[in-house]
Amino acid sequence: MEASFVAHLQQQHPELMPRHVESRPDLMEATTITALKFSDGVVMVGDRRATIGNRIASSHMEKVFAADSHSLVGVAGVAGIAIDMARLFAVELEHYEKLEGTQLSLLGKANRLAALVRGHLGHAMQGISAVPLFAGVTPGTRDAKIFSYDITGGRFEERNWQSIGSGSPYALTTLKRLWSPEATSHEAIEASLQALIDAADADAGTAGPDPVRELYPVVYVVTGDGVNKIAESVIADLVIGLEGKH
């Protein structure tokens, strides 16, 4: 009786049948990235945690990279796709500069990254997605820009701050509270670290600084003079200073 009813339902009202949804395979995912403007440029910070489901898969992953001499890209989402996207983006910018003898404009770089994201739309529709956060400064100027993206390749210019990844709702609250147009790079780095600390307090997928195990976020600063990766020893001192304020 049950089988005939199911057969009848399949033939007459297939829209009422329970839908079988294939589960997505467990994949390593990169988590929280922040970008914050300051008076001369942008600070981009990424935590070091990667997860598989509710498990910590890595505490050492780097998710923020120099795309070229005056721009940065951070990635969140499925780690394999995300990191390959960041590396391919850097190669394309280098190739363009070698061919043309000049860098793409910030908008041109942002558009090129959007095209790379759009190229992964098929994966994204299956739940296997990654999105970048892009920031840069026009060489020799203070013209800094931050761009975020959705899984379709939509590009959105942000005003002064942005965060992506699982901890982003919590990080954004702190970035908004601490941002200042007159901030120095030192102050912007402190604000970004505090944003990650606050995100880690609320989100299991985000790791804050861990002085005991000497695990610290990856921190980059970009200005009109170029990209600078901040040494872990400097970050450690800043974290101690933040702990002293609380």
Question: Which residues are known catalytic residues?
Answer: 31
Asked whether the beta carbons of 113 and 156 are under 8 A apart, the reply is: no
Instruction: Answer positive or negative: Cα dihedral of 219, 222, 225, 227.
Output: positive
Task: Give Rg (Cα) of the chain.
Answer: 21
Return the closest-CA partner of residue 32 out of 229, 200, 149: 200
What does the alpha-carbon distance between residue 153 and residue 171 come to, in Å, rounded to a whole number? 23
Asked whether the beta carbons of 36 and 192 are under 8 A apart, the reply is: yes
Provide the β-strand partners of residue 134.
73, 147
Maximal CA-CA distance, the chain: 78
